Amino acid sequence: MSNIFHYAFKVKDLATTRQFYIDLLGCVEGRSTENWLDFEFYGNQLTAHVGVVDKELDYCGLVDGVAVPIPHFGCVLTPEQFLALAAKLETAKIKFILKPQVRFAGQSGQQQTMFVLDFSGNPLEFKSFADESELFNA
């Protein structure tokens, strides 16, 4: 088995969490109880725990001149996956924190990026590199 990333985070309820991650994003549900839900998120394991989600977003991250919320999580997608997800989110009328756009244009690490909030207010970033081999370039 490869190294699979696990991330646990708080959500306001499991019903809207299922709507966002399972129904909208197409994640596969795993184990669950009345208080938490595991799901496969692009090959990784996320666990959503019901709790109080009351933090204000902090846009302290400045990337390529654009303020982004910290903390956030997400996934690096293929260009095809990125475009398909962007279209799916637009069709579902999901509000973008940052609409799909190109970051670092013409530079090493050029990428498409977009930010959305899940239905509990957790910020997610999805990105796709023009050249995935530049993912960790300095």
pLDDT at position 7 is 96
Q: How confident is the model at residue 40 (pLDDT cuts 50, 70, 90)?
A: very high
pLDDT at position 96 is 96
Through-space distance between the first and last CA atoms of the chain, rounded to whole angstroms: 29
Q: How confident is the model at residue 137 (pLDDT cuts 50, 70, 90)?
A: confident
pTM: 0.91
Decide yes or no: CATH 3.10.180.10 for domain 6-50.
yes
> In the chain, where does the domain assigned CATH 3.10.180.10 lie?
6-50, 61-134
Between CA 73 and CA 21 the distance in angstroms is 13
Domain covering 61-134 in this structure, CATH number: 3.10.180.10
Tens digit of pLDDT for each residue in 48-76?
999 998 878 899 988 888 899 999 999 99
pLDDT at position 1 is 62
